[in-house]
Structure 1
């Protein structure tokens, strides 16, 4: 498991990324390239802004993405950061947040036309989608698309998994609500992806606590596994002395925990507590299974199908 993956699971970006951006802890690292001494090596984000190579090397890919987005925004007068770039500046994570962003997408307000290709600069992509003023917000002094519009742009780009992880992270951060996003989408003009965005929003939950919980649940839902009758998120199992929650609970008995091993690695006390927790839940009649994020593949779906099928056979015997 990469360092980035463990941070994502631990809620690092859910809880801290927005704070890093808001307090300018990241922005202070940007360097105005025209003032750099000749002997200092820099990574160039755009013609005017970059980062000292020594600082760049120590940053996680997602943090590099945030800095690149700010640098591009500072070098553009009218353009509005959109899609993944908007999400980075908003401080709201998404599943592919841990991959280096090759290009930063921007959109011009209203019906302004993008500049000629030879005037756009490196690593910048212009979207030609209509962008009304009400879909633009100022975040930390940078013009970005609103949360609802960013969600729509994610869907229109073809990444529903990214879109769902983004909007559920926004719910977790209490930056918006499902009702508000639905209202915003309905009030938007007829843009590509709008019907799909409304349909995907209907699947969203407001209590998912990690990007990978969202991914796992979405995989189960779209797979339409035979025998799945109900899917609960953060299902409560109450005891007299405490209350536990199961990441995903299928049909009221099959509990799925995502990345549980990262909580106990190199921590014997946490491992013992986790085993006690799991045993107590199992004694209530639940079947518990755990998955690392890297295990969320077709094999994950097959396992669930087999467990449900076997459970049904035992009931019928």
Structure 2
């Protein structure tokens, strides 16, 4: 995913019911028959289209629908992150909204269907438009995600922003924070930025890295991301998702990559991954491959990914040297 190129209304085939002429009986009939699904009281979507969307696609459509319905409120938090084109870890159940200035949220009975109003100041300078929807600015969106969601979700969001906009470095984050002044959670956000990394390929790479870093097992000495290797025979350069202890390669298979979610052809992604894995093994590295379910945290103990890494460190000998690029 990347910066939005068209309106979210167009992307998700949304219909603003209040703007439909009274002479258009097809829309009214579609709503009555169930062919059109109301996402809010004022916005509908073709049911067949919406039903076929993946969970994150449904979340995008809901965020856009609530944004189109809101007269004054601004989409914020994770929903705004989606409308900015960020890749996120979880799927929010409701769309977060903020009122401009220091306005207080309305009574819950007046809330837009599927929304949650947050209570916080929102200066006009932190409001923009993305894909035709009023949203918080990118930095405000990220700070709100850090404020309202858990640390892993916040780091994922910042990682995604740094991948989408490579010039948005950690230094740039801190520079822009100075212009925002003090706000609740600013120190937590600084820590989140410090934990983020550039060019992370997916939310599950971020999750895997964070799980390894807080594992606490003495066998895990170092965790590096997007490490570059040079094949002296073919002269090709390969990047690995995660490198543990300088030699154990961990590759994260996310279903999203194979559906073209990040803008790459799925067939090309699969071929490139297989070529890279074979090349890395030929260079002497040990490659472990895990999926999304392997990084899901159990109620107790280590997740499957951490267990696999610990077994790999114990059972495989470290190579004498690897042709990595410093």
Aligned equivalent of 1:305, options 296, 305, 310: 310
Partner of 1:116: 107
Summarize the alignment of residues 40-59 of structure 1 with structure 2, pairs less than 5 Å apart.
Answer: 40-41=33-34, 42-59=36-53
Q: Would you say 1:160 and 2:151 are equivalent positions?
A: yes
Aligned-partner SS, 2:83: helix
Q: Would you say 1:106 and 2:92 are equivalent positions?
A: no
Aligned equivalent of 1:125, options 116, 119, 124: 116
Structure 1 gaps, min length 5: 1-13
Aligned-partner SS, 2:197: coil
Partner of 1:249: 243
Aligned-partner SS, 2:28: coil
Distance 1:179 1:63 in 2: 32
Q: Does the CA-based 8 Å contact 1:34-1:48 persist in structure 2?
A: no
Aligned-partner SS, 2:4: helix
Mean Cα deviation higher: 287-296 or 225-234: 225-234
Aligned equivalent of 2:4, options 7, 11, 18: 18
Cα–Cα, structure 1 residues 289 and 190, in superposed 2: closer, same or farther, change >3 Å? same
Deviation at 1:73, TM superposition (A): 1.5
Partner of 2:286: 287
Mean Cα deviation higher: 31-40 or 290-299: 31-40
Partner of 1:84: 78
Partner of 2:64: 70
Q: Would you say 1:195 and 2:187 are equivalent positions?
A: yes
Q: Would you say 1:183 and 2:164 are equivalent positions?
A: no
Aligned-partner SS, 2:184: coil
Deviation at 1:310, TM superposition (A): 5.0
Mean Cα deviation higher: 202-211 or 28-37: 28-37
Q: Which structure is higher in helix share?
A: 1
Mean Cα deviation higher: 79-88 or 177-186: 177-186
Distance 2:52 2:41 in 1: 22
Cα–Cα, structure 1 residues 107 and 268, in superposed 2: closer, same or farther, change >3 Å? closer
1:220-259 C-alpha deviation (Å, 9 max, x unpaired): 1222332333322121111142222211111210100111
Partner of 1:211: 203
Aligned-partner SS, 2:71: coil
Structure 2 gaps, min length 5: 21-26, 260-265, 297-302, 321-326
Aligned-partner SS, 2:134: strand
TM-score computed with the length of structure 2 as normaliser: 0.79
Cα–Cα, structure 1 residues 113 and 302, in superposed 2: closer, same or farther, change >3 Å? same
Cα–Cα, structure 1 residues 127 and 311, in superposed 2: closer, same or farther, change >3 Å? same
Deviation at 1:47, TM superposition (A): 1.3
Distance 2:270 2:69 in 1: 49
Deviation at 1:295, TM superposition (A): 0.8
Distance 2:74 2:16 in 1: 21
Distance 2:189 2:101 in 1: 21
Q: Would you say 1:32 and 2:17 are equivalent positions?
A: yes
Aligned residues: 296
Deviation at 1:178, TM superposition (A): 2.4
Aligned-partner SS, 1:95: coil
Deviation at 1:135, TM superposition (A): 2.0
Q: Does the CA-based 8 Å contact 1:80-1:143 persist in structure 2?
A: yes
